[in-house]
Amino acid sequence: MIRTDIEARILEVTSKSNANHRYASFDYCFNYFRTTEDLKKDVEKSCLTLGFYLASWGMFRGSSFLVQKSAKYFEPTIHYISELDYSIGEIDVDNYTDRNIHTIIDVYNGIKDRVIIDRKTDLTLVSKILLGVFGFIPAFDTYFTAAFRKICDGQCNFRRVDTQSLTVIKDFYDINRTQIDNLSHQIFTTDFITGQKTTINYPKAKIIDMYGFIVSQDQC
């Protein structure tokens, strides 16, 4: 799983991004949930922030059940997130301990129970929510999972957020730690109001998510 091109490939993409690009929707969502102390105080804004991020990343396409929902549909999810221990936001790939992995899975299931209806497919939507809100796992969408099945040489099929898949992601991080850490230290989110960079670093899981997306384009 050693990769020598992580820094170059990701910096090539981020150098083309700007405050109006859809990629910045992650920044605005992550910033909001990272810095807002009371998500329920303006629950409408909390729902809208999450909803627009998801829309930017394809979760409101015509085939999705969300296309029939308003922003208020996310209110139970916002209430659930607001009740979680604030320290959960400190989890990232570099501290995927057994305890933190179990916490991630618990939070995944908690959000799944509130946002998924009628046994709809949950993996892509719920993992995208976890990425945008907490930044502690990549989004397990079609692009990422296809890329990482190949990168890990079939060690994991990445069809579930579980101990196996998160452990393989941790192994990928450990093997490529220097590049991923360098990127996390030098890439900052964009502020919605000013359009300038904040002091909030991209999580390491987001770096891995971006790399999976980039590699998937090579396979198309």
Give the number of domains in the chain: 1
**What pLDDT, on the 0 to 100 scale, is given for residue 117?**
83
**What pLDDT, on the 0 to 100 scale, is given for residue 219?**
65
Whether 45 is in a domain gets the answer yes
What is the C-alpha to C-alpha distance for residues 58 and 19, in angstroms, rounded to an integer? 18
Coil vs helix vs strand at 131: helix
Whether 1 is in a domain gets the answer no
Whether 170 is in a domain gets the answer yes
Whether 83 is in a domain gets the answer yes
The upper half-sphere exposure of residue 13, i.e. CA atoms within 13 Å in the direction of its Cβ, equals: 20
Domain that holds residue 181: 6-219
Whether 39 is in a domain gets the answer yes
* Tens digit of pLDDT at every position of the chain (220 positions): 889 999 999 998 888 889 999 999 999 999 999 999 999 999 999 999 999 999 999 899 888 899 999 999 999 999 999 999 989 999 999 999 999 999 999 999 999 999 998 877 899 999 999 999 999 999 999 999 999 999 998 889 999 999 999 999 999 999 999 999 999 999 999 999 999 999 999 999 999 999 999 988 776 5
Residue with tokens 């090579």: 218
What is the C-alpha to C-alpha distance for residues 88 and 137, in angstroms, rounded to an integer? 12
pTM for this predicted structure: 0.95
**What pLDDT, on the 0 to 100 scale, is given for residue 121?**
83
Buried b (16+ CB within 10 A) or exposed e, 99-121: ebbebbbebbebbbebbeeeeee
**What pLDDT, on the 0 to 100 scale, is given for residue 220?**
53
**What pLDDT, on the 0 to 100 scale, is given for residue 64?**
87
